[in-house]
């Protein structure tokens, strides 16, 4: 568990390092559009999940079949290390989604979709 006063600092570090990774990945991974993270600081770092968002299901599927998946894992690990987050297995803290799937199943309501996705982690 992270002390309340340290959460803000850690959150700013996570946002900064993940923003850098996001901008880099946009030019490297076809169909990738943005990423986010969800965390419950009372169960940190176990609850941390970085979610990579793609524009379509097809782009997502293509990225997961190719070299892009390993690249996204490497970028995530690098960003988390830069933010000072140490994890045994980074891959357990990475998830993938698409805007197309959100539109189809949650009518484009990202807040509801992210809550439902992170509730299972």
Residue pLDDT, tens place only, 41-100? 889 999 999 999 999 999 999 999 989 999 999 999 999 999 999 999 999 999 999 999
Architecture of domain 4-118: 2-Layer Sandwich (3.30)
Q: What residues does each domain of the chain span? A: 4-118
HEC string for the chain: CCCHHHHHHHHHHHHHHHHHHHHHHHHHCCCEEEEEEECCHHHCCCCCEEEEEECCHHHHHHHHHCCHHHHHHHHHHHHHHHCCCCCCCHHHHEEEEEHHHHHHHHCCCHHHHHHHHHCCC
């Amino acid at each position: 568990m992270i002390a309340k006063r340290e959460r803000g600092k850690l959150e700013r570090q996570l946002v900064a390092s993940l923003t850098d990774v996001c901008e880099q990945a946009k030019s490297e991974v076809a169909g990738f559009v943005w990423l986010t993270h969800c965390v419950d600081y009372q169960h940190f770092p176990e609850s941390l999940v970085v979610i990579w968002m793609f524009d379509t299901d097809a782009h997502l599927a293509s990225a997961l079949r190719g070299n892009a998946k390993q690249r996204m894992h490497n970028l995530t690990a690098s960003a988390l290390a830069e933010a000072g987050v140490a994890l045994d297995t980074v891959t357990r803290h990475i998830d993938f989604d698409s805007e197309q799937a959100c539109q189809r199943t949650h009518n484009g309501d990202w807040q509801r979709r992210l809550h439902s996705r992170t509730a299972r982690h």
